[in-house]
Amino acid sequence: MTVPSIGLGTYRLKGQVLTDSVHNALELGYRAFDTAQIYDNEADLGDALASGKVPRESLFLTTKVWISNFHHDGLLASLRESLRKLRTDHVDLALIHWPSPNDDVPMREFLGALAEAKAQGLTKAIGISNFTVDLTRQAIDILGADAIATNQIEVHPYLQNRALIGYLREQGIHVTAFMSLAYGAVLKDPVIQAIAEKHQATTAQVALAWALQQGYAVIPSSTRRENLASNLKAAELRLDDEDMAKITTLDRGERVANPEIAPAWD
């Protein structure tokens, strides 16, 4: 399973706003779309994709199972409900959205159910999200590293997550970076701005290119067609060693996604 390098994130997008974003994305060439049960937009995404002109077999759909659905039967039922909303008989990638808070549901139970979902054809691949080094190690003990398609984690110039990413690389687990622009904070950074000016690029393209050049997949979202088009072109931007070194110095452990259910971070 190869996770597409650039997809459209749909966090906080709903209704007509999501529909317009998805239709523009499809027209521009996006084929990967990321959603989650907790986003409450799977049905909107399903409708938007169904009304688009791209066949299902050309799309890569990811959804994430929420913590309230971690018990074995509940996970399988919730994933079937996600498929109904998405108007498809399978997703390409199903992730555990967050580790179970306080181990309320044993990891072996929910990862076992996720593996069962794959065996039943509900998803082509499975993975994890927001898992630390220790939690990833536990997941590997249960599933095997080869079974984990990706760990979707927060990564941007202000949070470079080196210890976790180093471990994931050792295990051959792909990194999907979310919050790549840190809600726009990195776009105002003088270092990013200077690199963008040097390459006649946008600051968003620089931040995304930095992630792409390290082999991460990215899933930025946007409601503006021009930004969707610009983000897609980040794959064409090549930052030099000096650029990459300068961005490395920006790491300050600044985490954007840190809810109460979060694990003890590395």
Residues taking part in catalysis: 39
Cβ atoms 171, 200 nearer than 8 A: no
Contacts 24+ apart (CB under 8 A), 71-78: 71/105, 71/109, 71/110, 71/113, 72/109, 72/110, 72/112, 72/113, 72/116, 73/113, 75/110, 75/113, 75/114, 75/117, 76/113, 76/116, 76/117, 76/120, 76/122, 78/37
Amino acid at 27: E
Distances (CA, A) of 144 to 76, 100, 112, 125: 21, 19, 12, 13
